[in-house]
């Protein structure tokens, strides 16, 4: 099976990486289109390049490419309206690959919104029973009640079967930072002070803060103040055993005994590498922090209540097995399930999807443009003219759309093709 994966930020690339590694699919059968975006971490790009043939086409270029017909299925790991844009654009084709999409780790909040953008895909990848139950409740008694889903799990790494026993590891704890959880400067300062106090109480231990991104890198969420700046502004001089590191997370987890995080998917990564995780409860039960998801884990605890890390190392239990299964961590949930489902759909007629919920803003300017370009690619000049007319009404001052609209109205095929080439550059 030939797969095309589409992503444009670091968390999406990590989801694609997990799919490639967990499915066992050959790099020769996977193409990854990384939509160019300033600030995408080079460290992540280096990790995914060996896993697939890599393209860097802009979205409009990709959707107009005849190369799409090479693939059996296209996996879209983008955000919001882009998910809907691609589905609507490709559904205008008389023949298209199967379409699937997923989430980039644990779904912490905005689940309804996230699902609404994804409804109508041939297959939606979900982590585990928790998300599947929520989706089924959401779409019951709606036109989407038969939406196909598949459980691909939260295991993003190959389980380290040869990991050294905890007792042989260095006394090291990793704190997995998140960009906007917590979001306020006061809460982020409080979080840093809690870690500093723990370091003071545990002089035998090394505490490493692993930032979500390096300074200058970009992610989906906008970073107002990097954690390194917060650390300096809050503490001045940090305890000698509290440091920031930019080493790859897998390398850190292989060498660490403990991981602490507010609500990062790194919680599950730790399990892959024989590192025991704990969810930080000091900032309370707050959906904006994602902490509500981890309450049932059995390891949701206040760091400030820990006497020292020796005590935590001795007393911290393994996360609750039922909760892990419910979330989607376990042998039953992995990307191989996706390949099996897609193979089962190959011989059937792809679903002609219904449109998504009204909240998906399907008449957006960007979507109209994408739909028009898809219509141009298939020679559907009437539809292209109709969609560009609507887009022009929304943005009368957009010269690129105006030129494109005039071009598709040309009846002479040669002149029209020349006009399409000349007008394309004004759409970027």
Model confidence over 307-341: pLDDT tens digits? 999 999 999 999 999 999 999 999 999 999 999 99
pLDDT at 346: 63
What is the per-residue pLDDT across 28-50, written as a single tens digit (0 to 9) for each?
Answer: 999 999 998 877 888 889 999 99
pLDDT in the model for residue 168 = 82
The answer to whether residues 246 and 217 touch, using CB atoms and an 8 Å cutoff, is no
- State which residues of the chain have pLDDT below 70: 92, 159-163, 216-224, 346-364, 367, 390, 393-394, 425-428
Residue 30: closest CA among 15, 42, 14, 19 = 19
Q: What contacts 114, CB < 8 A, 6 or more positions away?
A: 103, 107
CA distance 389 to 392: 5
Residue 351 CA to residue 120 CA, distance in Å, equals 8
- pLDDT of amino acid 165: 75
Distance CA 243, CA 262 (A): 18
| Complete domains list, the chain, with CATH | 3-154+332-357 (3.40.50), 166-326 (3.40.50.2000), 363-427 (no CATH)
In the β-sheet with 300-301, what is the strand arrangement from edge to edge? 242-244, 206-210, 172-176, 258-261, 276-280, 300-301
- How far is Cα 105 from Cα 293, in angstroms, rounded to an integer? 12
Q: Is 414 exposed, middle or buried (0-12, 13-18, 19+ CB in 10 A)?
A: exposed
What's the pLDDT at 223?
61
**pLDDT at residue number 55:** 95
Whole-prediction pTM: 0.80
């Amino acid at each position: 099976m030939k797969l095309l994966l589409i992503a444009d930020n670091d968390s999406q690339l990590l989801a694609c990486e997990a799919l490639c590694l967990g499915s066992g699919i050959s790099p020769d059968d996977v193409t990854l289109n990384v939509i160019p975006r300033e600030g995408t971490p080079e460290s992540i790009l280096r990790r995914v390049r060996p896993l697939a043939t890599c393209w860097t086409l802009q979205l409009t270029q990709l959707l107009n490419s005849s190369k799409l017909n090479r693939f059996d299925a296209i996996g879209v790991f983008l955000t919001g309206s882009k998910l809907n844009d691609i589905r609507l654009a490709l559904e205008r084709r008389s023949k298209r690959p199967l379409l699937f999409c997923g989430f980039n780790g644990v779904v912490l909040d905005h689940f309804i919104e996230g699902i609404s953008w994804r409804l109508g895909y041939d297959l939606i990848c979900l982590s585990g029973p928790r998300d599947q139950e929520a989706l089924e409740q959401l779409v019951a008694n709606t036109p989407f009640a038969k939406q196909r889903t598949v459980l691909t799990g939260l295991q993003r790494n190959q389980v380290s079967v040869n990991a050294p026993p905890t007792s042989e590891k260095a006394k090291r704890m990793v704190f997995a930072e998140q960009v906007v959880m917590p979001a306020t400067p006061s809460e982020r300062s409080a979080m840093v002070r809690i870690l500093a106090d723990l370091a003071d109480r545990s002089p035998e231990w090394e505490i490493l803060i692993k930032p979500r991104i390096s300074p200058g890198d970009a992610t989906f969420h906008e970073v107002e103040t990097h954690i390194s700046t917060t650390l300096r502004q809050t503490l001045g001089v940090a305890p000698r055993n509290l440091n920031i590191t930019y080493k790859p997370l897998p390398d850190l987890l292989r060498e660490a005994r403990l991981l602490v995080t507010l609500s990062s998917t790194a919680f599950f990564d730790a399990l892959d590498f024989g590192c025991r995780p704990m969810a930080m409860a000091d900032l309370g039960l707050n959906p904006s922090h994602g902490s509500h998801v981890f309450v049932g884990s059995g390891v949701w605890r206040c760091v400030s209540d820990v006497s020292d890390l020796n005590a935590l190392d001795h007393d911290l239990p393994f996360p609750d097995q039922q909760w892990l299964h419910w979330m989607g961590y376990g042998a039953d949930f992995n990307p191989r399930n996706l390949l099996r489902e897609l193979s089962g759909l190959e011989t059937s007629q792809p679903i002609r999807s219904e449109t998504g919920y009204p909240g998906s803003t399907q008449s957006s300017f960007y979507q109209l443009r994408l739909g028009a370009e898809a219509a141009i690619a298939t020679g559907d000049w009437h539809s292209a003219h109709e969609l560009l007319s609507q887009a022009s009404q929304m943005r009368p001052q957009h010269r690129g759309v105006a030129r494109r609209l005039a071009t598709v109205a040309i009846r002479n095929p040669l002149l029209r093709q020349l006009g399409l080439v000349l007008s394309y550059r004004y759409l970027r």
